[in-house]
Structure 1
């Protein structure tokens, strides 16, 4: 059986990432694989490349043929030079480690803990003057309704009357 070391595409549109896999040469790109030997994330800066060097050397030694993109990855990681017996390439660029969130939080707390807070960061909202006018109108309407209900002689609240001539 002829084996190839190739890339299996995963991810979304415009956000691909790949697994470096060993598979039968007749299988599809995302078809059945024999073994996964690495990862490749081209969209990160710098690109993330992780290869299990021992397994890559084994498969190259038993005759598995890498595709051109995989051969380029092996040249970057130094696995191809190790297989051919050549000098190792310069080391790869590695992304800077991300800062620890807990350490950043503790530093911010220490920085703000020394200064007393002067007050609220946003001013308190003032009551709208319209709300005062609405409450005055409703209390006046209540007084009129009570007077109409208590007298019993006048017209019903809300009804209009015209003087008789």
Structure 2
């Protein structure tokens, strides 16, 4: 099964994440299928970028987003509707 989750980047105490589509059996920072966006918890305000078209394609094919990625997708959709 394919999962949409965070892939940790950055250094100690300075995390930076890629939002990726990955085989659910793969390790957290292992090889991923496709990068969908980024998430930087060290920045205030809008601290993510995500390609909603690619995300919708993966979810349509049965991919399951993690809790955090699901929240980011909801925020991105809400922001897209406001714009």
Q: Same fold (TM over 0.5)?
A: yes
Q: Which runs of 5+ in 2 are unaligned?
A: none
Give CA deviations for 1:79-116 in whole Å, capped at 9, x if unaligned. Answer: xxxxxxxxxx3x38xxxxxxxxxxxxxxxxxxxxxxxx
Map of 2:43 onto structure 1: 44
Q: What is the alpha-carbon distance in structure 2 between the residues aligned to residue 30 and residue 49 of structure 1?
A: 19
Q: What is the alpha-carbon distance in structure 2 between the residues aligned to residue 63 and residue 4 of structure 1?
A: 9
Q: Going by fraction, where is strand more abundant, 1 or 2?
A: 2
TM-score normalised over the length of structure 2: 0.90
Change (3 A) 1:47 1:15: farther
Q: Is the 8 A contact 2:4 2:19 kept in 1?
A: yes
Q: Is the 8 A contact 2:5 2:22 kept in 1?
A: yes
Question: Could you list the runs of 4 or more consecutive aligned residues of structure 1 that deviate by over 6 angstroms after TM superposition?
Answer: none
Bigger relative contact order (CA 8 A; separation at least 6): 2
Q: Going by fraction, where is helix more abundant, 1 or 2?
A: 1
Q: What is the alpha-carbon distance in structure 1 between the residues aligned to residue 47 and residue 70 of structure 2?
A: 16
Offset of 1:29 from its aligned partner? 0.4
TM-score normalised over the length of structure 1: 0.47
Map of 1:70 onto structure 2: 69
Q: Size of the alignment, in residue pairs? A: 80
